[in-house]
Amino acid sequence: MAVIGYMRVSTHYQKFDSQQQALEDYGVDKIFKEYESGRKSFRNELNKALNILQPGDTFVIFKLDRLARGTKQLLVLLERFNEQNINFVSIENNIDTSTPMGRFFFTIMGAFAEMEAELIRERVLAGLSAAKKNGVVLGRPPLVNQVNEALELYHNTDISTEEISKRCGISISTIYHHLRKEGVYRTKKTTDVSKSGKVLVGSVKEK
């Protein structure tokens, strides 16, 4: 069973000294070094370390903040280790998921993450409720003015639909949607030249 170590610093100016010494003293077989912010979910060296782990292996870090900067990010990784039967060790935090106390820590982490998500949800719902009571209209603002302006230009000018879309700040599909609701189309004048040289004037419906 392999013992894989991972250590991280945010910049190249920082040193790995204390982390590396602790990992080597623990007896890791291989160490992955990362120069990257802990807030980034995608980290090259961390992904390399995770990809070589096999069931029964142990993943070792110096401290929890070397692996993740938030409860949610940490819990995702711990769940992955649990599903793949990989032991997790944080030396400074005295966490070892191969022990009963370590497994208890994993359970507590999950409970805290669930509570955090529920509190966020409650705050959002409370904010929406308060906004409604104060007469705030929720959701995307209506495009009534833009639509009316677009239809006016469509019916009464020779401006192209693409140009109308740009001027009014709405999509071409939105313009056609409202035209279909009205059941009308703009009649656009066209000119052509006959074989005899006469100019012919006609009209087509632009759809």
Question: Per-residue pLDDT for 198 more than 60?
Answer: no
* Helix, coil or strand: residue 135: coil
Number of domains in the chain: 2
Residue with the two structure tokens 């469509």: 154
pLDDT in tens, 98-122: 898 888 877 787 777 677 777 788 8
CB burial string 2-37: b at 16+ within 10 A, e below: ebbbbbbbeeeeeebeebbebbeeeebeebbebeee
**Domain with 31 in it:** 3-113
pTM for the whole structure: 0.55
Q: What pLDDT is attached to residue 184? A: 61
Say yes or no: 17 and 97 in one domain: yes
137: pLDDT confidence band, cut at 50, 70 and 90? low
Say yes or no: 101 and 153 in one domain: no
Rounded Cα distance between 6 and 64, Å, is: 11
Rounded Cα distance between 70 and 193, Å, is: 72
Say yes or no: 50 and 104 in one domain: yes
Catalytic residues: 10
- Write down the H helix ranges in 14-99: 17-26, 44-52, 71-83
| Structural domain contains residue 119 | no
| Structural domain contains residue 129 | no
